[in-house]
Amino acid sequence: MRPNDLAWISDTDASFLASHLGRRTLMGAGAGLAGGILAAPLSALAQQAPAPGAAEITVDQARTAPIPIVIPVLGGDMGQQISGVVSADLGNCGLFAPVSGALPVGVPDFGTYKSLGARALVSGTATSSGGALRVEFRLWDVLTGQQIQGTAYTAGVNEARKIAHIIADVIYERMLGEKGYFNTRIAYIARSGPRAHQTTRLAIMDQDGANSHYLSGGQWLTLTPRFSPTSDQLAFMSYANNRPRVYLLNLATGRQQLLGDFEGISFAPRFAPDGRSVVMSVTRGAGSDIYTVDLVSRVKRQLTASGAIDTSPCYSPDGSQIVFNSDRGGSPQLYIMSAGGGGARRISYGTGTYGSPVWSPRGDLIAFTRIANGSFSLGVMAPDGTGERIMTQGFTVDSPSFCPNGRVIAFCRQSAAGPGGAGFSTGISTVDITGFHERPIPVGGASDPAWSPQNG
């Protein structure tokens, strides 16, 4: 028997999950400053700029005209690696345009960099000795000749990429006035093997696709990982022992435990914003209800009892509301209710059916998947249902997940397959919330992305 085969799951359960999770999820089963980094300020070599938050360039302006920034090699192999990661982070977000230029010594000759069209400049050094790494980093405003930031980072040499991501976050924040998202991770489902019988493994990577590694062995079908906002834990669904249920995984210890031993199937978990409980769906006959489970007491609380399929719950950032998917009105649509249950109101009214809702960390948008005329669309709308707009479309685009500052969404994109599964592909891409700058993450066969909190 193949590891992910559904033969041991009842026909009723398999049919229910297929109707909820769709072709994307079950096709592979045959059914369709942390980290020991020290930071210290560097004295200014020139007049310093205003405090953080006083950025003169907005994100919308940078989308239209990416900020030209000189990022020279900081010296040596380590400096080359760090400069490369910083340049890739800033260039890949689409808001910066890295420019080649020589590394300045001391206070830069700003006229040289102005002639290159640069708006900002990075300088510094990277030195290693005896397994220790020291990176000195300065950020300059080329137009004013001011030092915007000066910081020295000390860590082990294995932290070079993390330091680079931190530097990219600092540049993003100082230039744009809001926090970056480069020092983050994405949990996902790694997929391999023939389309009809794919092996799925819980996996994790840096947000740029580096440092990817498996967290599970692939014996059982595994789906929908979700990060805790307050601890180093993942919630996910696993078919372990041929019974689909929600589990918790402690990323620090590797300890895995069942979360809520329900009579039915439990699936679609999400942490509450305070990290103290998990909301999920639990099957009940031909439908499903939404429950919460307290992570300390393990007390279960039922939030819905509509007699329909209520699923895919996600809290608002302040924890006061939950958006979810339900077919209580005849077809799968999006609803919002209070976090304690009750008062559900429909918010989706476009053509087709809606699913996979997720609330932006900023609280201003809800991302969703819409299925119409056999095609998938990925879009966003305001929490009251207004302002719906589609960002990208395809055979399957699903599983949206916001980055911590709410500016970028990771999602799964899958292609149609020809005879025998030929031409099928599945991967993770990112797109700006405006539909701007879509790009794939180079990690291979993958689905179900879940973006970590800042520094997660």
Residue 53 has pLDDT above 60, yes or no: no
pLDDT value at position 89? 98
Residue 193 has pLDDT above 90, yes or no: no
pLDDT value at position 159? 95
Among residues 113, 147, 176, which one ends one of the domains?
176
Whether 292 maps to a domain, the answer reads: yes
Q: Which residues 6+ apart lie within 8 Å of 2 measured at CB?
A: 30, 197
What is the per-residue pLDDT across 344-380, written as a single tens digit (0 to 9) for each?
A: 999 999 999 999 999 999 999 999 999 998 899 999 9
Q: Are residue 24 and residue 79 in the same domain, yes or no?
A: no
Whether 138 maps to a domain, the answer reads: yes
Closest CA to 428 of 436, 438, 420, 418: 438
Give the C-alpha separation, 334 to 355, whole Å.
Answer: 7
pLDDT value at position 36? 81
Q: Are residue 269 and residue 366 in the same domain, yes or no?
A: yes
Backbone angles phi, psi at 172, to 5 degrees: -55, -50
pLDDT value at position 454? 83
Whether 39 maps to a domain, the answer reads: no
Contact 215, 204 (CB under 8 A): yes
pLDDT value at position 56? 75
Q: Are residue 306 and residue 384 in the same domain, yes or no?
A: yes
Give the C-alpha separation, 309 to 207, whole Å.
Answer: 33
Whether 40 maps to a domain, the answer reads: no
Whether 44 maps to a domain, the answer reads: no
Give the C-alpha separation, 245 to 267, whole Å.
Answer: 6
Backbone angles phi, psi at 23, to 5 degrees: -65, -30
Q: Are residue 137 and residue 274 in the same domain, yes or no?
A: no
* Mean residue pLDDT across the chain: 90
Q: Are residue 142 and residue 274 in the same domain, yes or no?
A: no
What is the per-residue pLDDT across 199-244, written as a single tens digit (0 to 9) for each?
A: 999 999 999 999 999 999 999 999 999 999 999 999 999 999 889 9
Q: Are residue 229 and residue 373 in the same domain, yes or no?
A: yes
pLDDT category at 34 given cuts 50, 70, 90 is very low
Q: Are residue 202 and residue 254 in the same domain, yes or no?
A: yes
CATH of the domain at 129: 3.40.50.10070
What is the per-residue pLDDT across 69-113, written as a single tens digit (0 to 9) for each?
A: 999 999 878 999 999 999 999 999 999 999 988 999 899 999 999
Whether 150 maps to a domain, the answer reads: yes
pLDDT value at position 76? 77
What is the per-residue pLDDT across 320-343, written as a single tens digit (0 to 9) for each?
A: 999 999 999 999 999 999 999 999
Residue 442 has pLDDT above 50, yes or no: yes
Residue 142 has pLDDT above 50, yes or no: yes
Q: Are residue 171 and residue 191 in the same domain, yes or no?
A: no
The token duo for 31 is 């059914």
Give the C-alpha separation, 189 to 335, whole Å.
Answer: 27
If one counts the domains in the chain, the total is 2
Q: 216 lies in which domain range?
A: 11-32+182-451
pLDDT value at position 7? 35
> Reading across the β-sheet that carries 333-338, which strands appear in turn?
310-315, 321-326, 333-338, 345-346
Whether 3 maps to a domain, the answer reads: no
Give the C-alpha separation, 393 to 98, whole Å.
Answer: 30
Residue 245 has pLDDT above 70, yes or no: yes
Among residues 176, 207, 239, which one ends one of the domains?
176
Q: Which residues 6+ apart lie within 8 Å of 98 measured at CB?
A: 69, 70, 71, 87, 90, 91
Backbone angles phi, psi at 313, to 5 degrees: -75, 145
Closest CA to 171 of 200, 186, 151, 195: 151
Q: Are residue 286 and residue 149 in the same domain, yes or no?
A: no
Label residues 195-219 b or e (16+ Cβ within 10 Å = b). beebbbbbbbbbbbeeebeebbebe
Residue 14 has pLDDT above 60, yes or no: no
> Mean pLDDT across the stretch 397-423?
91
Q: Quick one: what percent of the chain has pLDDT higher than 90?
A: 79
Contact 86, 164 (CB under 8 A): yes
Give the C-alpha separation, 232 to 237, whole Å.
Answer: 17
Among residues 138, 156, 176, which one ends one of the domains?
176
Contact 358, 366 (CB under 8 A): yes
pLDDT value at position 91? 96
Give the C-alpha separation, 439 to 178, whole Å.
Answer: 22
Q: Are residue 223 and residue 113 in the same domain, yes or no?
A: no
> Amino acid identity, residue 339?
A
CATH of the domain at 394: 2.120.10.30
Q: Are residue 97 and residue 19 in the same domain, yes or no?
A: no
pLDDT value at position 29? 39
Contact 267, 281 (CB under 8 A): yes
The token duo for 245 is 């249920």
Q: Are residue 21 and residue 109 in the same domain, yes or no?
A: no
Whether 43 maps to a domain, the answer reads: no
Per the DSSP assignment, residues forming a β-bridge with 337 are 322
